[in-house]
């Protein structure tokens, strides 16, 4: 049976929480606020506390999650979220601070932020960090605003950004949000950037190159130094999409590869929980020559006190109403403290080991378009299953029946019927073996009994959903019946 | 030191053998030597869990919290009562260790919660549709403006000066690079005169952005302002406080086309500014302009009710540079926090929270009126926040803090003409004793 909606569980007269009784003399709101600004109806449910607890507990059980099982969603880095970090984010001295408190009352919080900035600068090889952006895409937007401010200051007339065809969808969308035009760069047969294609599109109108390394194929681009040099030669800036930092932490640094701007996804590499789609945090790092453009306020330490500096003339201005997703930053800070320098290097070592181990095994069963060592993830193609009338989507759905989350599918778009698999370092060999066995069994089923795949999933709380009707006749609000 | 890697040394050898290399280093061989990090990262050695816990606990204790003091700070984030049950539910790993519901068959929990969140936001605001949430209030407002400029194909945006000045800064950073021209509309007596808005409107204006109640606590005449905006073909964007909507008429009924705002008051801890949750809701005609995730109800192949991410043709992973926004996540866990809060409080509870906020703020005003030296620069209606003028305000605020009260936010941070004016918020969490103590202390410091 489906879980009812809160509105259907509502019973007039029920209360889920009791407030302390009002202890001040009452006045009539109608004497103080014009009647046209006072509402009559309030369409909220009325439920008891136990009904609320049961409702949301039952709903939670309909989710797959890292805590329940393997979640090899490529480019999302679904690693284990250490429980102690949840405790740290709930310390009253962090959770119960108002953003407008006097500076002297939040010195510990500012110290934490400043120290985190310094750690992230060291890990990425950059000179300065802002912790403001609330997510990776928000970090991209911030980084591109910095790029734009740089070119404006230098009087450069730049209109275009180069993005490899393997780039994340947010990259071009972020470019559009700051008014840059996107120039797509092809991939070469090894899966890296096609240097000749890049050279042919390079010109004075190029503001920069936006790239992730390793890229979304999980492959490290050895030519990154030359690519950066080429872009710099037209006074373009090189932007590092940090979605894949989990592959290289402690081994190489974007700053050393020639990147000018970096964004990180703390909810990926630094294990802050994904929360069903957020909150995340997307700090941005820059080299010295771009520091003045970072969003304000900046946190400064004068040897005695931490202060917020808001008067930075060249700053792109604040990009969020606060200093950042503070409690997400606390979790990431705790993660860095526990791992330390060796631990962080091990994170990438084991992430890469796990990915290569799975890739070597699965390439015997599925097409591997780029057969070289991968970093933290790899991309298979399900095109070989077409002869059985089976698609990658069917493989993904069948995996759900085995208790696994599916890989990222149909991305990157440059691989036909792609499946992007990222195991992360926190999965055991036993789990990887089980997943590989399931993939092999599904490949056999595809040949012997393809309907098992096409009808999948059958063991999940619901089966395949009618997305077409959902989009054609949107039912997105309980209070409005679709037309 | 502590680590979260389960692989044993023996397994490492076995795995390396299967790959056909000798060491893990071999897997990094393609990184050119000149790009390799020489030596270790310059960050400390790892710590054990108890060592880290001790360090962070000490650091956290060097802050003074809103529970160590008594908090009368507002300005967009408010110290409300938070039911204990919320955090127990948020700590279920099935919620917080899941990701965006890309595989709906195994994400019905997250999806249904978002559908409920969207519906609750529609109910509160009087709008036809809401998205799955935004980062927070300021960036939700930025996206609302993007919707309006795209819909009207105009680029000038009138933003009332009574809109949260932090939001206005973010709007300047994020909306202007796309060509929006932001014009601010001055206020008098704490509110903006609709006639002033009318004067500044023309056929270039995409939208008028107003706040309800406004940053100075006053109840802006959003109905009249929306009316004059519509006459000029502009959209009315209302930044609303969701708790105030327990008492105040919906922006929808008063003519808003888009309602956005900060969801923190809905049971989310103050958290030094985040994570919070933004909400964004609109009238039907703007559906295809909505950014971000939207969840829809549908059925599976057996006819069973279920939920999916829908209308994805608007989004970055499909449309790339033509998407309605670059946003790809939402603040699902914080939206869930708000959803649980609204479910627990319910219709009567939210009315009562709003009612107590109103009563206690008005009680504070009556008591402050008795304190020599205190004046009120604005005369209009307010909800739970008001501006108080105090001689030597900054000095007095400092003394109040030393005596255990965060007494308000000095407004000359943002408004040069509001020297000695302080923004004071009173929620249902403040007791009569705390309010009385506030007035006594203040009187003592002004006149002592």
Q: Output the 3-class SS for chain A.
A: CCCCCHHHHCCCCCCCCCCCCCCCCCCCHHHCCCHHHECCCCCCCCCCHHHHHHHHHHHHCCECCCCCCCCCECCCCCCCCCHHHHHHHCCHHHHCCCCCCCHHHCHHHHHHHHHHHHHHHHHHCCCEEECCCCCHHHHHHHHHHHHHHHHHHHCCCCCEEEEECCCCCHHHHHHHHCCCEEEEECECCCCCECHHHHHHHCCCCEEEEEECCCCCCCCCCCCHHHHHHHHHHCCCEEEEEECCHHHCCCCECHHHHCCCEEEECCCCCCCCCCCCCCCCCCCEEECHHHHHHCCCCEEEECCCCEEEECCCCCCCCCCCCCCCCHHHHHHHHHHHHHHHHHHHHHHHHHHHHHHHHHHHHHCCCCECCCCCCCCCCEEEECHHHHHHCCCHHHHHHHHHHCCCCCCEECCCCCCCCEEEECCCCCCCHHHHHHHHHHHHHHHHHHHHCCHHHHCCCCCCCCCCECHHHHHHCCCCCCCCCCC
By DSSP bridging, strand B295-299 and strand B278-282 are unpaired
Q: Any idea how long chain A is?
A: 483
Q: Using the structure block, give the residue that is written with the tokens 């304000």.
A: A296
For residues B151 and B235, the answer to whether their CB atoms sit within 8 Å is yes
Distance between CA B260 and CA B291 in Å, rounded? 12
The ranges of chain A annotated as CATH 3.40.640.10 are: 84-338
Pairing of the two strands B421-425 and B385-389: antiparallel
Determine the residue of chain B that is closest to A424 in CA distance: B5
Of B94, B253, B276, the CB nearest to A65: B94
Question: What is the structure's pLDDT at A477?
Answer: 98
Position B324 confidence tier, pLDDT thresholds 50, 70, 90: low
DSSP string for B412-447 = GGT-TT-TTEEEEE--TT--HHHHHHHHHHHHHHHH
Using the Cβ of B30 and the Cβ atoms of chain A, whether some distance falls under 8 Å is answered with yes
Q: Taking Cα atoms as reference points, which of A465, A374, A224, A415 lies closest to residue B306?
A: A465
- Which site among A10, A13, A40, A44 would you substitute to test the B interface, given the most B Cβ atoms closer than 10 Å to its Cβ? A44
- What's the gap in Å between the CA of A113 and the closest CA on chain B? 11
Strand partners, A30: none
State residue A455's pLDDT score: 97
Question: What is the average pLDDT across A78-94?
Answer: 98
Judged by a CB distance cut-off of 8 A, whether residue B31 touches chain A is yes
pLDDT confidence tier of residue A177, bands split at 50, 70 and 90: confident
The DSSP code for B216 is T
Chain B contact for A43 (CB, 8 A cutoff)? yes
- Which top CATH class is A84-338? alpha beta
Strand partners, A392: none
* DSSP element (H, E) containing B387: strand B385-389
Q: Is A141 exposed, middle or buried (0-12, 13-18, 19+ CB in 10 A)?
A: buried
**pLDDT tens digits, B5-37:** 999 999 999 999 999 999 999 999 999 999 999
pLDDT (mean) for A6-20: 97
CB-CB under 8 Å, A94 with B95: no
pLDDT of residue B286: 97
Is residue A167 scored above 70 in pLDDT? yes
Contact B326 A322 (CB under 8 A): no
Residues of chain A with CATH 3.90.1150.10: 342-468
Mean pLDDT to the nearest integer, A225-253: 97
- Å from A90 to nearest chain B CA? 9
* For range B390-398, the mean pLDDT: 97
Alpha helices in B68-221 (DSSP H): 85-90, 93-96, 108-125, 137-152, 165-175, 194-200
How many percent of chain A have pLDDT more than 70?
Answer: 100
Q: Where in chain B is the domain with CATH 3.90.1150.10?
A: 70-81+349-447
Q: Quote the pTM value.
A: 0.97
Q: What is the mean predicted confidence (pLDDT) over B345-354?
A: 98
- Of B141, B163, B272, B170, the C-alpha closest to A323 is B272
Q: How confident is the model at residue B447 (pLDDT cuts 50, 70, 90)?
A: confident
Nearest to A278 among B294, B316, B329 (CB): B329
For B185-188, the CB contacts below 8 A with 24+ separation are B185/B158, B185/B159, B185/B160, B185/B161, B186/B161, B187/B160, B187/B161, B187/B162, B187/B214, B187/B216
Tokens of residue A432, six digits: 């990887």
| DSSP-derived 3-state class of residue B262 | strand
Structural contact between residues A379 and A412, judged by C-beta atoms closer than 8 angstroms: yes
d(C-alpha B205, C-alpha B158), whole Å? 7
pLDDT exceeds cutoff 80 at B422: yes
Decide if domain B85-340 falls under CATH 3.20.20.70.
Answer: no
What is the average pLDDT across A467-482? 93
Residue with tokens 């962090």: A94
pLDDT bracket for residue A483 (50, 70, 90): confident
State whether residue B174 sits within 8 Å of chain A by CB.
yes
SS3 annotation, A145-173? HHHHHHHHHHCCCCCEEEEECCCCCHHHH
Interface A-B: count of C-beta contacts within 8 A? 670
pLDDT recorded at residue B316 = 66
The whole-angstrom separation of Cα B60 and Cα A88 is: 9
Residue B323 has pLDDT above 90, yes or no: no
Confidence band for B111, pLDDT divided at 50, 70 and 90: very high
Query: What pLDDT is stored for residue B312 in this prediction?
Result: 84
Tens of pLDDT, residues B70-108: 999 999 999 999 999 999 999 999 999 999 999 999 999
Output the pLDDT for position A176.
87
Asked if the C-beta of B123 comes within 8 angstroms of chain A's C-beta atoms, the answer is yes
Mutate to test the interface with A, among B346, B376, B411, B431 (most CBs of A within 10 A): B346
Contacts of A222 in chain B (CB under 8 A): 30-32
The partner residue sitting opposite B46, judged by closest CB among A248, A339, A462, is A339
Residue A379, both tokens: 């991309």
Residue of A nearest to B26 (CA): A373
Q: What is the pLDDT, as a whole number, of residue B1? A: 47
b/e per residue, B158-189, with b = 16+ CB within 10 A? Answer: bbbbbbbbbbbbbbbbbbbbbebebebbebee
Question: Long-range pairs for A36-40 at CB < 8 Å and ≥24 separation?
Answer: A36/B223, A36/B249, A36/B254, A37/B219, A37/B248, A37/B249, A37/B254, A37/B381, A38/B247, A38/B248, A38/B249, A39/B245, A39/B247, A39/B248, A39/B249, A39/B250, A39/B253
| CB–CB contact A250 B65 (8 Å) | no
Quick one: pLDDT at residue B2?
58
| Mean pLDDT score, A471-477 | 95
CB B155 within 8 A of CB B180: yes
B42 CB near a chain A CB, below 8 Å?
yes
Chain B contact present for A24, CB below 8 A: yes
Cross-chain Cβ contact A225/B28 below 8 Å: no
Question: Does A103 score more than 90 pLDDT?
Answer: yes
Q: Which CATH architecture has domain A342-468?
A: Alpha-Beta Complex (3.90)
Pairwise CB contact (< 8 Å): A319 & B321 = no
Return the pLDDT at A30.
97
The reply to whether ipTM tops 0.90 is: yes
Q: Where are the beta strands (DSSP E) in B161-270?
A: 181-185, 205-212, 235-240, 258-262
> Average pLDDT of A381-406?
97
Q: Does A20 touch chain B (CB under 8 A)?
A: yes
The average pLDDT across B185-193 equals 98
- Report chain A residues whose CB lies below 8 A from the CB of B355: 22, 29
Hey, what CATH topology would domain B70-81+349-447 get? 3.90.1150
Written as six digits, the tokens of A204 are 């004075």
| CA distances for B74 relative to A177, B42, B79, angstroms | 31, 40, 8
Q: How far apart are CA A438 and CA A400, in angstroms?
A: 10
What confidence score (pLDDT) does residue A476 get? 97
SS3 (DSSP) at B36: strand
Supply A339's token pair.
Answer: 């791992």
Q: Is the pLDDT of residue B318 over 70?
A: no
Give the pLDDT confidence of A32-73 residue by residue, as tens digits.
Answer: 999 999 999 999 999 999 999 999 999 999 999 999 999 999
Q: Is some CB atom of chain A closer than 8 A to the CB atom of B2?
A: yes
Instruction: For residue B299, give both structure tokens.
Output: 């059925």
- pLDDT of residue A185 exceeding 90, the answer is yes
Contacts of A89 (CB under 8 A, 6+ apart): A95, A327, A328, A330, A331
Range list for CATH 3.40.640.10 in chain B? 85-340
Chain A residues 432-451 with CB within 8 Å of chain B:
none
Predicted confidence band of residue A312 (pLDDT cuts 50, 70, 90):
confident
């Amino acid at each position: 049976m489906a879980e009812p909606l809160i509105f259907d569980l509502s019973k007039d007269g029920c209360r889920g929480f009791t407030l302390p009784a009002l202890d001040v003399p009452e006045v009539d709101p109608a004497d103080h606020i014009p009647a046209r600004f006072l509402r009559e109806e309030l369409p909220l449910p009325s439920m008891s506390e136990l009904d609320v607890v049961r409702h949301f507990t039952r709903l939670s059980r309909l989710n797959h999650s890292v805590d329940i099982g393997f979640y090899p969603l490529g480019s999302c880095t679904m690693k284990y979220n250490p429980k102690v970090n949840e405790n740290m984010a709930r310390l009253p001295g962090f959770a119960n601070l108002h953003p407008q408190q006097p500076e002297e009352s939040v010195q510990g919080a500012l110290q934490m932020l400043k120290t985190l900035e310094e750690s992230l600068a060291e890990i990425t090889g950059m000179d300065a960090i802002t912790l403001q952006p609330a997510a990776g895409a928000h970090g991209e937007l911030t980084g591109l605003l910095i790029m734009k401010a740089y070119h404006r200051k230098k009087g450069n007339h730049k209109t275009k950004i180069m993005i490899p065809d393997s780039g994340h969808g947010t990259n071009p969308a972020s470019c559009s949000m700051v008014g840059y035009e996107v120039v797509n760069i092809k991939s070469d047969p090894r899966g890296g950037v096609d240097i000749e294609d890049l050279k042919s599109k390079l010109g004075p109108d190029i503001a920069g190159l936006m790239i992730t390394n390793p890229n979304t194929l999980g492959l490290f681009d050895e030519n990154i130094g030359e690519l950066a040099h080429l872009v710099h030669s037209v006074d373009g800036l090189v932007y590092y999409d940090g979605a894949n930092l989990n592959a290289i932490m402690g081994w190489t640094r974007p700053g050393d590869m020639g990147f000018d701007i970096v964004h990180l996804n703390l909810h990926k590499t630094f294990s802050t929980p994904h929360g069903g789609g957020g909150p995340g945090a997307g700090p941005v790092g820059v080299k010295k020559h771009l520091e003045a453009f970072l969003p304000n306020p900046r946190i400064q330490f004068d040897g005695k006190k931490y202060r917020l500096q808001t008067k930075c003339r060249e700053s792109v201005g604040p990009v969020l109403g606060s200093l950042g997703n503070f409690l997400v930053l606390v979790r990431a800070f705790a993660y860095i403290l526990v791992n330390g320098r060796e631990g962080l290097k091990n994170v990438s070592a084991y992430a890469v080991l796990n990915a290569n181990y799975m890739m070597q095994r699965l390439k015997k069963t599925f097409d591997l378009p780029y057969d070289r060592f991968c970093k933290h993830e790899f991309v298979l193609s399900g095109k070989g299953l077409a002869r059985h009338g089976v698609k990658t989507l069917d493989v993904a759905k069948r995996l759900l029946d085995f208790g696994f989350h599916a890989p990222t599918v149909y991305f990157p778009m440059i691989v036909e019927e792609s499946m992007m698999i990222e195991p992360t370092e926190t999965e055991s060999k036993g789990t990887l073996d089980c997943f590989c066995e399931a993939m092999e069994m599904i490949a056999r089923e595809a040949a012997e009994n393809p309907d098992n795949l096409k009808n999948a999933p059958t063991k999940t709380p619901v089966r395949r959903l009618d997305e077409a009707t959902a989009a054609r006749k949107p039912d997105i609000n309980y209070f409005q019946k679709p037309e | 030191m502590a680590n979260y890697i389960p692989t044993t040394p023996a397994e490492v050898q076995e795995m390396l053998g299967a790959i056909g290399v000798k060491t893990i280093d071999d897997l990094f061989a393609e990184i050119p030597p000149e790009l390799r990090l020489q030596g270790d990262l310059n960050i400390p050695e790892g710590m054990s869990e108890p060592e880290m816990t001790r360090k962070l606990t000490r650091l956290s204790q060097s802050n003074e919290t809103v529970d160590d003091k008594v908090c009368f700070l507002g300005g967009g984030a408010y110290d409300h009562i938070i039911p204990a049950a919320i955090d127990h539910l948020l700590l279920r790993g099935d919620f917080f260790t899941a990701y965006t519901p890309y595989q709906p068959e195994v994400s019905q929990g997250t999806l249904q919660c978002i559908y409920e969140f969207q519906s609750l936001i529609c109910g509160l605001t009087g709008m036809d549709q809401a998205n799955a949430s935004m980062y927070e209030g300021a960036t939700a407002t930025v996206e609302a403006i993007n919707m309006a400029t795209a819909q009207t194909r105009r680029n000038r945006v009138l933003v009332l000066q009574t809109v949260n000045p932090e939001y206005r800064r973010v709007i300047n950073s994020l909306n202007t690079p796309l060509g929006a021209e932001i014009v601010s509309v001055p206020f008098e007596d704490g509110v903006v005169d609709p006639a002033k808005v009318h004067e500044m409107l023309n056929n270039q204006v995409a939208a008028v952005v107003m706040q309800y109640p406004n940053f100075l606590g006053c109840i802006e005449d959003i109905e009249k302002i929306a009316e004059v905006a519509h006459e000029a073909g502009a959209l009315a964007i209302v930044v609303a406080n969701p708790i105030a909507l327990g008492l105040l008429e919906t922006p929808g009924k008063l003519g808003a086309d888009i309602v956005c705002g900060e969801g923190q008051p809905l049971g989310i801890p103050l958290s030094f500014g985040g994570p919070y949750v933004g909400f964004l809701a609109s009238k039907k005609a703007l559906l295809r302009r909505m950014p971000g995730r939207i969840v829809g109800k549908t059925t599976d192949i057996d006819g069973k009710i279920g939920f999916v991410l829908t209308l994805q043709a608007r989004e970055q992973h499909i449309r790339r540079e033509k998407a309605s926004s670059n946003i790809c996540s939402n603040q699902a866990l914080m939206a869930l926090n708000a959803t649980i809060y609204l479910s627990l409080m319910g219709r009567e509870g939210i009315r009562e929270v709003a009612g107590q906020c109103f009563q206690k703020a008005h009680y504070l005003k009556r008591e402050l009126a008795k304190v020599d030296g205190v004046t009120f620069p604005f005369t209009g209606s307010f909800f739970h926040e008001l501006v108080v003028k105090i001689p030597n305000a900054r000095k007095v605020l400092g003394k109040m803090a030393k005596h255990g009260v965060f007494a308000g936010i000095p407004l000359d941070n943002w408004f040069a003409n509001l020297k000695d004016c302080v923004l004071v918020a009173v929620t249902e969490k403040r007791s009569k004793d705390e309010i009385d103590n506030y007035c006594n202390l203040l009187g003592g410091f002004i006149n002592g």
